């Protein structure tokens, strides 16, 4: 399946269900947004923007919700940073991010917001080595050195040492990464900082970093996946659903317990078996679980705690909260078929409490 096919199929299915998916379907992913939340009297269409990581799951969820309730959801898959910006500008009802708001983003919003976990997913390390028949294994240190630009060819002795008997090509390594502000980048670089701060410390972690050496940036998960598919010798980090649905190779990664783990629903679920704080902001990377995949993370829908702003109606606010309530309950059944890990019971309990704290004129929206 070609890279564009996942977007084409998702868009077609969503539009048939009555849902507008702005990115790739009509706007080309510009993320320009609109001020519908301020001026439109159409309270039967909600607007969201953000994570490309969760885009395949949201596409399915929102299409199904439309079938059940006739509520339309227009979700722009523009990256976590773009979603947070549009939420800050109050041009969408909700943003979605694979990283919680940082201090600067929270200061710009200026009022309390709620982070509601939607699911967890794995960041797969995908590569394009056409003649390689074996599944590549990588250690945390080797992975870090590849992305730091210290390992430059695929037959480097460090890669060969963890792949004995595998015929590695004498091919330059081409690093592909996100060019936009990305929660997926935050998950990935946070992991690299945890496992090898000596090599990665000079680069840092976050939704956007200054990548060393000669690298190729792509917009959204789709852009990075496209670069990998088209470039022999490329390696990059993408959401597992894109890798699986587009039949892309991805590595087994050594976890903290020393086991080489294939990213999957099961190994992502294992990584998510942690204590969830009351605000739901938790990192799943570099898990202690012996069978857990080490580069995993939650994605969060983010909304304003007080929903009476910019002339929003109580009806619109109620529909938004009910949509997210459905996502964390009935909508979870769509996660596993798309290679996301459904929320564990403790995360659902935390998400319920967070949604119940959403207010309109200071009064709880959910009774």
**314 has a pLDDT exceeding 60:** yes
CB 261 within 8 A of CB 255: yes
Name, in order, each residue with C-beta under 8 angstroms of 32's C-beta and a sequence gap of 6 or more.
none
Average the pLDDT over 27-52 and give the result: 63
Kindly tell me if the per-residue pLDDT of 48 is higher than 70: yes
Give a yes or no: residue 349 inside a domain.
yes
**pLDDT tens string 272-302:** 888 999 999 999 999 999 999 999 999 999 9
346-365 mean pLDDT: 97
Residue 1 has pLDDT above 50, yes or no: no
Report the mean per-residue pLDDT for the chain: 88
With a cut of 80, say whether residue 111 has pLDDT above it: yes
Q: Considering the domain boundaries, does residue 286 fall inside one?
A: no
Q: Is the pLDDT of residue 366 over 80?
A: yes
Distances (CA, A) of 41 to 44, 46, 116, 311, 316: 9, 11, 26, 10, 10
Q: In this structure, what CATH number is given to the domain that contains residue 80? A: 3.40.190.10
What would the DSSP string read from start to end of 4-43?
HHHHHHHHHHHHHTT---HHHHTSTT------HHHH---T
Same-domain status, 206 and 253: yes
Q: Give the pLDDT mean for 137-156.
A: 96
Residues 207 and 70 in one domain: no
Q: Are strands 137-138 and 359-360 parallel, antiparallel or unpaired?
A: unpaired
The confidence score (pLDDT) of residue 317 equals: 98
Residue at 243 is within a domain:
yes
Residue 221 lies in a domain: yes
Helix (H) or strand (E) holding 77: strand 72-77
The residue from 271, 305, 321 where one domain ends is 271
**Is the predicted pLDDT of residue 31 greater than 50, yes or no?**
no
- pLDDT for 99 beyond 70: yes
Is 175 inside any structural domain?
A: yes
Paired sense of beta strands 113-127 and 234-239, if any: antiparallel
**Could you tell me if 15 and 138 lie in one domain?**
no
Q: Given this model, what pLDDT does residue 66 score?
A: 98
277 belongs to a structural domain: no
How many domains, in total, are found in the chain? 2
Together in a domain, 160 and 66:
no
Count how many residues are written for the chain: 367
Pair 83, 185 in one domain: no
Residue ranges of alpha helices (H) inside the chain are 3-16, 22-25, 36-39, 55-69, 80-88, 103-109, 140-147, 157-161, 183-195, 197-200, 220-230, 240-245, 265-271, 314-328, 345-356
Q: Please give the pLDDT value at position 241.
A: 87
- What mean pLDDT comes out for the span 131-150? 94
Q: What is the pLDDT of residue 4?
A: 36
254 SS3 class:
strand
For 34-38, 61-65, 213-217, which range has the lowest pLDDT when averaged over its residues? Answer: 34-38
Which H helix or E strand runs over 304? strand 296-304
pLDDT tens for 162-218 read 999 999 999 999 999 999 888 899 999 999 999 988 879 889 998 889 998 889 999
* 133 and 87, same domain (yes or no): no
Task: Give the model's confidence band at 37: pLDDT under 50 very low, under 70 low, under 90 confident, else very high.
Answer: low
Backbone φ and ψ of 200, nearest 5°: -100, -10
Q: Which residues lie closer than 8 Å to 55 by C-beta, 6 or more apart?
A: 10, 23, 75, 77, 221
Confidence bin at 25 (pLDDT 50/70/90): very low
Instruction: Tell whether 57 and 110 lie within a shared domain.
Output: yes
Any domain includes 109: yes
Residue 201 shares a structural domain with residue 324: no
Q: Which of 236, 271, 306 is the last residue of a domain?
A: 271
135 assigned to some structural domain = yes
309 or 10, higher pLDDT = 309
Question: What SS3 class is residue 133?
Answer: coil
Same domain, 179 and 47: no
Could you please report the per-residue DSSP string of 263-274? --HHHHHHHT-S
Q: Which of 271, 286, 320 is the last residue of a domain?
A: 271
Q: Are residues 64 and 204 in the same domain?
A: no
Residues 185 and 110 in one domain: no
Judgement on whether residues 130 and 261 belong to the same structural domain of the protein = yes
Q: Which domain holds residue 16?
A: 3-121+297-364
Lowest mean pLDDT of 2-6, 135-139, 228-232, 255-259, name the range.
2-6
Name the CA radius of gyration of the chain, rounded. Answer: 20
């Amino acid at each position: 399946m070609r890279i564009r096919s996942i977007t084409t199929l998702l868009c077609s299915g969503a539009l048939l269900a009555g849902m507008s998916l702005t990115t790739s379907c009509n706007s080309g992913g510009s993320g320009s947004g609109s001020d519908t939340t301020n001026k439109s009297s159409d309270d039967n269409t909600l607007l969201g923007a953000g994570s490309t990581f969760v885009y395949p799951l949201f596409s399915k969820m929102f299409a199904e919700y439309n079938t059940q309730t006739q509520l339309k959801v227009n979700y722009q898959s523009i990256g976590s940073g773009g979603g947070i910006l549009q939420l800050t500008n109050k041009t969408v009802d909700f943003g979605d991010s694979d990283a919680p708001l940082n201090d600067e983003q929270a200061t710009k919003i200026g009022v309390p917001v709620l982070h509601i976990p939607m699911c967890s997913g794995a960041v797969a390390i995908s590569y394009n080595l056409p003649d390689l028949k074996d599944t590549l294994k990588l250690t945390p240190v080797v992975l870090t050195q590849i992305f730091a630009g210290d390992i430059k060819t695929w037959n480097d002795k460090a890669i060969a040492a963890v792949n004995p008997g595998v015929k590695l090509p004498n091919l330059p390594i081409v690093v592909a990464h996100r060019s936009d502000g990305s929660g997926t980048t935050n998950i990935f670089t946070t992991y690299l900082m945890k496992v090898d701060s000596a090599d990665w410390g000079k680069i840092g972690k976050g939704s956007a970093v200054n990548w060393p050496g000669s690298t190729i940036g792509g917009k959204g998960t789709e852009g990075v996946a496209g670069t990998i598919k088209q470039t022999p010798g490329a390696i990059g980090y993408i959401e597992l659903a894109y890798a699986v649905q587009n039949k892309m190779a991805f590595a087994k990664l050594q976890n903290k317990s020393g086991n080489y783990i294939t990213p999957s629903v099961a190994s992502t679920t294992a990584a998510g078996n942690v204590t969830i704080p009351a605000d739901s902001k938790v990192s799943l990377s570099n898990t202690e679980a012996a069978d857990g995949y080490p580069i995993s993370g939650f994605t969060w829908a983010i909304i304003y705690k007080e929903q009476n702003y910019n002339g929003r109606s109580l009806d619109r606010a109620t529909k938004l909260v009910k949509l997210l309530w459905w996502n964390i309950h009935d909508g979870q059944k769509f996660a596993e078929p798309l290679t996301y890990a459904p929320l564990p019971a403790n995360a659902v309990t935390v998400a319920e409490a967070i949604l119940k704290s959403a207010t309109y004129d200071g009064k709880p929206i959910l009774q």
